[in-house]
Structure 1
Amino acid sequence: MAANPSAPEVVAGVIWQAANESGDRLRFRAGPDAKALLDERKAKSKADFFGGLKGMMDG
């Protein structure tokens, strides 16, 4: 995931879109890395997902 982060321009575009959103949308995916992370979150239990993130952070 960290090996292929979204380009800054992609993230900036999504931030602009979110800031100018007139609806009630709360979440915006900023590129394929965010999509992969959120898809993984949906596919796993809360404990497994956050345990995996913790494992990545601990090295």
Structure 2
Amino acid sequence: MFRTGLLSLYILVGACAEKPDFDTRYEEAAKDISERAEAIDAELAAEEETREIEPSEQDK
């Protein structure tokens, strides 16, 4: 009985130790979102540079 309880305690502690806390998950998500936003901004900037605007369209 004691061994079973001790084994259960080790399993529970081991399972809890593997999960990242909220702050770690938040930082990872924020970094991922920032990287995606930078990639989108770079893509939009590249498209804007390559797009040619005709003079008649600028006046409208």
TM (norm. structure 1) is 0.32
Higher CA-based Rg:
2
Under a length normalisation based on structure 2, what TM-score does the superposition of the two structures give?
A: 0.32
Higher relative contact order (CA 8 A, sep 6+): 1
Could you say which structure has the higher helix fraction?
2
